[in-house]
Chain A
């Protein structure tokens, strides 16, 4: 990492641009078939599938296709979304059998010659269409004490932390609590009591923070029968994470910490 005093060389006033610069040109359009698993207990007891053929563009994401349906065809299609660029974590869903954020999955990167299927994430109770009850997910998160605990007297200025110590837990600070990891985990599907990868990631974020004093308490929580030992290292969670967090590695580090720290 560069130091704060490093100067960036003054860039040239004028350069030759290789080409017109950047991407661009006519944005290609194409047709897709979108198939969504619907569920609404006010309308029917069982879930059903709806299918639409839509004309979409090269820059469109799965979220744009869902919006096209909701805004132009069927206003009852229901899903959560907010920021639409992969930061808020609202729109995790199963897209072609894989957990993704709808706002980060570009249609052109999917095989548009085949039907694109979208379902709610698995392992959490479905409320309506693509909306699940997130409460069990946040309950697990709250149980691992997801906040800094520091028992020493507060300094007047900031607590110090070396760049290396800060780097130690950087990866797990990226979590946006979208539940893509937890709801991709086969252990979580069969055992809803399992804390799941996201809770462990958030425990990791504090266990390896040099300022924190409650690591042992969190490790004790995760040493529970529904804790880290349920992890079967299938790497589904790492593949599912839209933030590129090495989830399985973080879980392994927590396991190692339980074994090496005396509880």
Chain B
């Protein structure tokens, strides 16, 4: 076991992690731990753009962007956080341009902007051009540009180091009113070096979680194989709550049967959705902005068309994304990558044929709760000193119950930067917290159990069963019955997980072992997600309950907070404590959400 010491550790090297590292690296002794090479991170798969009210091509302002974000999130957004994000969006885009990001340009040489779902002029009057973009590979360009700048600033990376545990120390604190509570303090992380199987303990004053989402809970997903909820699960196991985990975004246009993402930019550039009768069905569901309604609405509308028998194809199980009325030159200039995906993976020529699409699991709105300084909360308002989170792993909450397109690339830049600065500043003023005794004991135990398991259960089998039940029961339509079915299956899988057996017993590049550990994370997160979904007896944003089809502000205008607590029980599930957290309102009163 090796022990390292850094002021700041960043866990994850996607957009949020590297944006944080650029800031932190210039202020404090910083290292980035990543289970992949940095340029492999899934930020690179984001396509369409990053919104900021630059007003380069038409009138716009950040207040409209704030409103759209709040309404898009079906009012579960913390409005102070949304305001920070929309305001700082402008500098976030300009920062990236100055770092070298090759944005598409207007004829005058300014950053070009295009339309995106849910982004409107003057509080919903019409779609607005707000998304700054680099063709349909904006995420790729952001990831590359941030990595380039990490190289420029000599940021230190530990590549293919899997972080498997967060080290915290509990301290009894007496509050001003005389009551006592347990204060968590950050001591470091434990990580596993893929190359040789060695355990490394990293002591740090600040730890920033920027490890991304958990899309692999579902079978049909736009997410990478490596998005297994590690950061959320590690924090949860160590007593950090998770917020709003029931809210998962299903992106409307995944390639049918495969889930590979086709950007909303396709609709921003004029593409439309059609059913088997050739109808532009979004006219019925969102008469004003039609195909550019927010993703939850479009995804549900598509699923409804299929359910009512107007799906396409031999099994009538998808709808069509029609780009055939667009000029091929326009498609080539603005949407080259996604049209290539359609050709490569489905053999469809988008110039002349509509592309089969169906919703695909895309994004976790929930995650590790933070305030706008990216500081992690151990309850509704107690900060864990030295612990930060940013990006998809975090819940600020700027996305509420449904994230608007482009706001994730924005989130990672705005809150990644904030996390990096805050983590470094804290480290520069704080002392190291002493490591707990035997800091690697938990991690060694976790690995040994999996490595020595003889029970005969295969990781891939359990994972496939989990993904099937989640697709069948927890997708865009949910009900008490389907959620309970998923939960029962998850409990069965958690039992069977105790009998997992792997084949590779070696030390070098043992991905067989790591996949088993990742499955453990997925199962924990699936349980939290379903319990939260069962509890929320209303429909809001990405969470739609057929048994409770309306939004219920009286009872559910609250964030869900789920704690790992062996003593507790929630919705019949042992080991989970359920609490709520109020939503922050500043300017906008909840209204009915129409588009």
Instruction: Give A contacts to B, CB under 8 Å.
Output: 1-5, 8-9, 11-18, 20-26, 40-43, 59, 70-72, 74-76, 78, 80-90, 104, 106, 127-129, 131, 134, 138, 142, 146-148, 150, 154, 157-163, 165-166, 169-170, 173-177, 206, 209, 211-212
Q: Given A88-B36, A212-B100, 15 more contacts at CB 8 Å? A: A12-B280, A14-B278, A17-B277, A22-B320, A22-B346, A24-B356, A25-B314, A70-B460, A76-B506, A78-B504, A78-B509, A83-B44, A127-B195, A173-B102, A177-B37
Residues of B within 8 A of A161 (CB): 105, 109
Query: Lowest 6 A-B CB distances belong to which pairs?
Result: A148-B100, A71-B460, A8-B270, A160-B109, A75-B503, A24-B313
Q: What are 17 A-B interface contacts by the 8 Å CB criterion?
A: A11-B270, A11-B322, A15-B274, A17-B274, A17-B320, A18-B353, A22-B353, A43-B506, A75-B459, A78-B509, A83-B40, A127-B195, A127-B509, A128-B508, A163-B105, A170-B135, A212-B100
B325 within 8 A of A: yes
Contact B36 A90 (CB under 8 A): yes
Residues A14 and B508 in contact in the complex (CB < 8 Å), given A21-B320, A142-B151: no
Residues of A within 8 A of B126 (CB): none
B457 within 8 A of A: no
B442 within 8 A of A: no
Residues of A within 8 A of B257 (CB): 59
Residues of A within 8 A of B149 (CB): 147
Contact B45 A41 (CB under 8 A): no
Residues of A within 8 A of B103 (CB): 158, 166
Query: Shortest CB–CB separation between residue A78 and chain B, in angstroms?
Result: 5
Contact A15 B512 (CB under 8 A): no
B345 within 8 A of A: yes
Give Cα A32–Cα B489 distance, bound, in whole angstroms.
34
Contact A146 B151 (CB under 8 A): yes
Residues of B within 8 A of A13 (CB): 279-280, 283
B326 within 8 A of A: yes
Query: Shortest CB–CB separation between residue A141 and chain B, in angstroms?
Result: 8
Give Cα A211–Cα B105 distance, bound, in whole angstroms.
13
Give Cα A22–Cα B350 distance, bound, in whole angstroms.
9
Query: Shortest CB–CB separation between residue B368 and chain A, in angstroms?
Result: 22
Residues A163 and B107 in contact in the complex (CB < 8 Å), given A11-B280, A12-B280, A147-B148: yes
B125 within 8 A of A: no
Contact A22 B152 (CB under 8 A): no
Contact A147 B151 (CB under 8 A): yes
Number of A-B contacts (CB under 8 A): 231
Contact A2 B333 (CB under 8 A): yes
Query: Shortest CB–CB separation between residue B293 and chain A, in angstroms?
Result: 16
Contact B148 A86 (CB under 8 A): no
Residues of A within 8 A of B258 (CB): 59
Q: Which of B44, B112, B148 contacts A87 (CB 8 A)?
A: B44
B387 within 8 A of A: no
Contact A131 B509 (CB under 8 A): yes
Residues of B within 8 A of A76 (CB): 503-504, 506, 512
Contact B256 A22 (CB under 8 A): yes
Residues A157 and B94 in contact in the complex (CB < 8 Å), given A24-B356, A59-B258, A76-B512: yes
B4 within 8 A of A: no
Contact B314 A21 (CB under 8 A): no
Residues of B within 8 A of A15 (CB): 274, 278, 322
Give Cα A106–Cα B318 distance, bound, in whole angstroms.
22
